[in-house]
Amino acid sequence: MSTKKRQFNIAICGLGGMGNWHRGTITGNWDNGRQDPVENLHLVGSFDIDPARQAFAREHGVEPYPSYEAMLADPKVDIVTIAVPNDLHRPLAIAALRAGKNVVCEKPVTISSADLQQMIDVADATGMLLTVHQNRRWDEDFVCARKVIEEGTLGPVFRVESAVLGCRGIPGDWRQEPEHGGGMILDWGVHLLDQICQMFPGRRIRTVYATVDHVTNELVDDGFYTDLALDGGVVAHVEVGTSHFIGKPRWKLFGRDGSAEIDWGCKGRIVCVTDRSKNDAVPIRTAAGLTKTMAPRTDDTIKEFPLPEVHCDIRDYYRNVMDAIDGLAPIEVTIPQVMRVMKLMEAVRRSAEERRIVPFED
Ligand SMILES: NC(=O)c1ccc[n+]([C@@H]2O[C@H](COP(=O)([O-])OP(=O)(O)OC[C@H]3O[C@@H](n4cnc5c(N)ncnc54)[C@H](O)[C@@H]3O)[C@@H](O)[C@H]2O)c1
């Protein structure tokens, strides 16, 4: 029996920044060189309402469809990837599902849980696959942080800090406009909250507390900070900022027996206690006082370890989509997971608006 997998045809709607990233990933054809394409996945066309992006497609060897309707009417197309501003995901995904296409929707899937429910209803009615490009699940830093926790090196983990801090404000496009689903909770929050849910499978998030920034933009949040209280005494602190000229490591993990810090590209370290019975410290003296309580341990009772190695390949995302369509594997990014994160983002916003701790899965 042949083990050769069948070929899928894919088309991209919206060939802006992220649509072009999908083009490059699928075809392996980047402006600065070639990489391996996603095997068995053939990009048959794209559509963008901007004529300049239609021309861009042609220049990059992709045949643009004259309209979205023409893309959906093409029987060759098995999968449609939707990479347009956030408010347009719902109508364009629903149209694609109704046309009998499988849909890969960019994150955030849409801008409210009520909107998402409409998309789910159509996916259920048509039987087509609806999934979301939560690509940051394949980021090395996240995979590494999850591995550190799973390996138990730190002992029971009680606090996780996940931060993405930039200093260039919100991009000056639709991301600044609430009607298009702007703001950083929907933009980066969706990734970081999804990662926390993936990091602690099966644990309920009991409560949410959040505050938001409006440093450079009054209409949408240009940053936010949230504490999620999970089952088992774990607090996950998630922050996203766009006016932070001094950043933080991407992850900090704290367990009873050790701590880890992990930055982009998986740079970082693990520090663990080696002998709890000895807890001598190197006192910290300031002009006004002395502390041993908060001083670092002496070197003989701690040990530093390198981070575990991880290997990530984002093409696994599309490989899984194709396998899921053919019933060869469960889909990695499921709709119940996506709905949970959508409701979590709504809880973050509600907590900030009402200035209170919001019960979530309590
Ligand atoms: N997963 C990720 O890592 C990641 C990263 C960046 C952006 N995104 C997501 O991708 C989506 C697009 O973001 P972007 O940064 O590429 O924005 P962008 O503004 O660069 O591109 C959006 C494109 O959509 C086109 N467009 C608008 N309306 C359209 C329509 N009705 N039909 C066809 N094309 C239309 C625009 O002309 C533009 O070219 C957003 O949902 C965003 O959140 C995801």
Could you read off the pLDDT of 151-210 as tens digits, one per residue? 999 999 999 999 999 999 998 899 999 999 999 999 999 999 999 999 999 999 999 999
Query: In the structure, how many helices (H) and strands (E) does the chain have?
Result: 10, 18
Ligand 1 atom at shortest distance from the alpha carbon of 134: 1
Residue-level pLDDT at 282? 83
| pLDDT tens digit sequence for 61-117 | 999 999 999 999 999 999 999 999 999 999 999 999 999 999 999 999 999 999 999
Q: Decide whether 8-133 matches 137-314+342-359 in CATH topology.
A: no
Task: Report cis status (omega within 30 of 0) of the bond before 283.
Answer: no
CATH number of the domain at 8-133, out of 3.30.360.10, 3.40.50.720, 3.40.50.970, 3.40.50.2300? 3.40.50.720
pLDDT in tens, 236-245: 999 999 999 9
How many alpha carbons fall within 13 Å on the CB side of residue 356?
5
Q: Is the distance from the beta carbon of residue 139 to the nearest atom of ligand 1 less than 6 Å?
A: no
Element housing 300 (H / E): none
Angle between helices 51-59 and 17-27 (to 10 degrees): 20
Angle, helices 315-325/17-27, rounded to nearest 10 degrees:
80
**Ligand 1 centroid from CA 89, angstroms:** 9
2: pLDDT strictly greater than 80: no
Q: Is residue 57 within 6 Å of ligand 1 at its C-beta?
A: no
User: Is residue 237 packed enough to be buried (19+ CB in 10 Å), middle (13-18) or exposed (0-12)?
Assistant: middle
Over range 325-335, report the average pLDDT: 97
CA of 70 to the centre of ligand 1 (A): 19
The CATH code that applies to domain 137-314+342-359 is 3.30.360.10
315 vs 249: CA distance, rounded Å: 26
Cα(55) to centroid(ligand 1), Å: 16
The β-bridge partners of 226 are 210, 238
Q: Are strands 258-263 and 251-255 parallel, antiparallel or unpaired?
A: antiparallel
Give me ligand 1 centre to Cα 24, in Å. Answer: 15
Q: Where are the domains of the chain?
A: 8-133, 137-314+342-359
**How many Å apart are CA 136 and CA 143, to the nearest integer?**
9
16 lines ligand 1 (CB under 6 A): yes
Residue nearest to atom 7 of ligand 1 (CA): 18
Q: Is 164 in the pocket of ligand 1 (CB under 6 A)?
A: no
Q: Ligand 1 centroid vs 232 CA: distance in angstroms? A: 39
Mean per-residue pLDDT of the chain: 96
Distance separating alpha carbons of residues 258 and 268, to the nearest angstrom? 14
Contact between 129 and 81 (Cβ < 8 Å): no
Asked if 227 and 209 count as a contact pair (C-beta separation under 8 A), the reply is yes
